[in-house]
Structure 1
C-alpha cells in the first residue's frame, strides 16, 4: 500500500468506486455471467454456443441467424454492453425501460445475492471521510446499503440524481452512477447496461464523465472490484484518461489488481491508462484483498479501533528498530506521521512505556521535524 494513499485516506481525501468484483462474493454475476444468464432465459440457441465454446473458438453456429451470429461474435470479443444492445434491438424492436432484456436483467440480479459480503462492510467503513460517508458504485445491487451500520442514515442516488462532488458533508451517500435496482420488484429500474445507455450517459449527457472529473479533482479515486477489460471500466478509464490529458489538477488514481503471478505487463497497462495499480495475490477468491481492506479499516485514523493501533505500536517496538521488518518500520512511521502533534506525543509516550529503543523514538522525532518543515513551506 502506498503511504501517500494511506495519508490521503486519513485526511478524508479518498473516494472509493466499487465494481462487480465487490459483489461477486455475495453471489452476484459479473458482466459476462449476467449476459450468459440473460441468454439462458431469452435465447437458448446463443446460450448453448457461448457456454459450450471458449472465447477464442467460433463454436457451432449452425441454426443461428446472421443477427444471432453477430451477437455471438461480439460476446466472444467481450463487448457485453454491445451484445445486450443488439439483443434488445432484435427482440424488443424499440428499446425502452420496460423491454424484455431489461426486465430479465433485473430478474437475474434479484435472484442472485441476497446478503452483503464482508468486503461490502469493509468498504463502508473505509468510505467514512470523517463526518460524511460516500461510496460510488457501478453495481446495480443494494448490498452496500444493506452492509452499512443501521445508525448510518445515508441516501441512495443514481444517474442524474447524483449530487455534485464536494468536500462538505452534503456530498455523501450511495452513488450508483450506472443506476440502481428498485427494492420494489414491480417497479422498473433505470440501468446503464447497453452500448446505447453508455453513449447516453457518457457521451451525450456526459453525466458520468463530468462527475468523475469533479471527483478526481477533489479526491484520490480508488477502484475496487474491476478488471481492465470490464466494459464499465473501459468507459470509466476513457473518461479519466481524457480529463487527465486536458487538466493537470487531477489527483492520483489507484486500483487494486488481483494477479495469480507477478504480471509487469498488466501493471504497465494500468499505468498507461493513468491509474496507479496496487497488485495483490488473487488466490483463495481474493482473500488477501479482503484481509487488506479489513486491516486498513481497523487501523483507520477516522473510525478505526484505537486499541488495535496501540497494540500494533507495542508489538512493533518490542524489537529494536534496527532488526525490525521493513513492513513494521513503515507501519510505525505511518501511524506516527498521520497524526497531529498531540497524537504523536501520545504515541511517543506509549512506545516509551512499552520499552522502545532509541531507534523508534528517534524516528518519531524525525517525523515531527518533517511535519514542521512541511507546515512552514
Structure 2
C-alpha cells in the first residue's frame, strides 16, 4: 500500500503538468481563444498507461480524455458531471476504459469527477477520485437580442425603431429565427445610433465581446466612431475633445479606420497624448494600433504602432470582436502606468497595450457598456450595422455562441 500512496503523490504533480493544473487566471492559446480556469484536486491519479488529459477546443468546449488501461489493477467506478452520474461503458470485465467527455463551458461552471478503484502489486485496493474543476467567464451582462424588446437597455431616448431596430437574422451562427440589433444612423447627415447599458456592478477591469456585421452597401470610407466600455459620469458618454482628468472618465471603443478599413481602438484616458493640441486640455482620442504616422507627430511611442493589423473589413460578414480594458493602478502624476487595452478579432489577438496611465483614483470604475455607430458627416451610406451575442465579463470570453444556462 505504501507503493500506491507514493505513486499517487508523484502522479498528482505529473497530472498537473498534463492538464494545465492550477488556479491561475484564464489563459489564451496562440489564436487568442478564451480558455477557462482549470484546476485538479490533489488526489489526482495515473497508473501504468492510464492517463487523464484536459484540453480546450477553439469553440470553447472542454475535452477530457481518459484512458484507463491497466488490466486487473484499475477500473473506473463512476463518472459524474455537475453531480449527475453518467453511464460508463464496459470493456474487458471493467478493467479497460477509453473515453472522452465533451463539456461546453462558456458562461457555466463545471465539476467533473472520475472515481477509480486501484489495486496495487500487493493486491491491496484503494479508491481515488480525480476532480476537474472548470470555471468559465463571470458574466456581468449579456444579450443575444432575444428578449423581444429593448427594455434591458438604459437609453434616455428609448431606442426608437428608426435608429435601433430588432430584426430577424441568422446571425453569426446561422441560427433560424435568430434576432439581432440593427443600428441605423440618420441618413445623409452627421449623427449616430447607440445602445447604452448601465452595468449592474462597477469594475476595475472588464472584457467585452460582440459579433458585428456591416450591412451591404456600407461605406467604409466614412469617418466614424464605435462603442465599447466606459468608466465615469454617464453625462460624459460621447463627449469628445477633452482630456479626462483621471477622476471623471475613461473609455475604450472599437471603430474602423476610414483609410485602411481595419478595426482599431479609440480611447480616452488620463495619459492620452496622440492628438493633444493643449496637453492638459484639448485632446482627441488615442488610436491603437497607432497608424497615423511613424512617430513624427502622433505615434510617438513605438510600442503603440502597427502590430500585425486586423483584417480589412467587408460588408455582409460577421466578425467576432473582443476587447479588454484594465484601468490599472491609480497614479496622481503618471509615475505608474499599468493600464491595459487588448484587442481580438475572431479570436486572434491584434494588440496588447499595457503601459497606459488610465486614472488617478480608484473611484473611477468601469460602469457602462456602449454599443454605437456614429458618423461625422453625411458622406456615409444609408447602410447600418448589426450586433449579436453581446457579453461583458470579468474574464476572457473568446468566440462561441452565447450560453444562457
- Fold match by TM threshold 0.5: no
Normalised-by-shorter TM-score class: under 0.3
Higher strand share: 2
TM-score (norm 1): 0.25
Q: Which has the higher contact order (CA 8 A, sep 6+)?
A: 2
The structure with the larger Rg is 2
TM-score (norm 2): 0.24
Higher helix share: 1
